[in-house]
Amino acid sequence: MTSEKGIDSFRLKLIALVFMVIDHIYTYLNSPLHGYQAEGAWPQWIPLLTRFVSPLFLYLMIEGFYHTRSRRKYLGRLFTAGLIMMGGNILINYLFGSVDHATGNYSFHSLTQGHDIFLTLAAMFVLIWCLDNLKQHKYKGASIFIAVFTALVSLILEGGFYMLPVTFIIWFFHNSKPLQCTGICIWSLILLAHTLISYLTNNPGCSLYSYLCFDNEWAMFPVIFLIFPYNGKRGRNTAFTKYMFYVIYPVHLWILMILRYIIEAKLS
């Protein structure tokens, strides 16, 4: 037997998971230990190395949209995982006394703060489902209303502002990797231009390098180097591989949230 050329979905998920964990360790533990630009801090370029992760998970989700046996069940898993993630975030923030700094009381933001990419992916799933219905001239009125509503809601979800254009690009050019990758690169250039203009006009008091590492969504473009070799295959298919992201994502984030609270309490 000859090995399958390219990279399958399972291997892409493993790559994304590794870099995701690295990114979150940096996000949660670098600041309380060192401060963002303190001497001895972890390299500022780490977020540039990991910014491809969310677009890659989005790409794989859209691929799954077209290959899943049940779109309803897929969406149900994403939405349920998102609610569980939010519930865990709220519990941890409550137990560690995360309050609004201005009022000293609990607030919606102070309790719900934390990562929850599941809800973002669920919103994007609903959006492309509506777009697919419109493409097939099905449920036009309802699809337009739900698509617009979902797009607006996604703007307040984690990474929604940056992922919404990527969603349109990947869906619209679904049958053309070159056009998908070109669109992603153009969006990255737009974000880079915005970052540079922001730096020049706001005088943030840090080096351009530090600012580029901080306002780093422009660095999503390396995802194209993983999209191109994707062979369209699912790869290893077991219950573990199907649900590992749904388990690893919340568990490692909750551990990091708790560690951050403990470290901040000891240093305060």
User: pLDDT tens-digit profile of 159-211?
Assistant: 999 999 999 999 999 999 999 999 999 999 999 999 999 999 988 888 999 99
Q: What is the 3-state secondary structure (H, E, C) of 6-75?
A: CECHHHHHHHHHHHHHHHHHHHHHHHHHHCCCCCCCCCCCHHHHHCCHHHHHHHHHHHHHHHCCCHHHHH
- Residue 36 pLDDT: 44
How do residues 56-67 score in pLDDT, each as one tens digit? 999 999 999 999
68 with 74: CB under 8 angstroms?
yes
Q: Which residues contact 23 (CB under 8 A, 6 or more apart)?
A: 46, 47, 50, 51, 53
pTM for this model (two decimals): 0.92
- Residue 33 pLDDT: 57
How do residues 212-247 score in pLDDT, each as one tens digit? 999 999 999 999 999 999 999 988 888 888 899 999
Q: Where are the alpha helices (DSSP H) in 116-230?
A: 117-135, 140-154, 160-172, 177-202, 208-214, 224-227
- Residue 34 pLDDT: 54
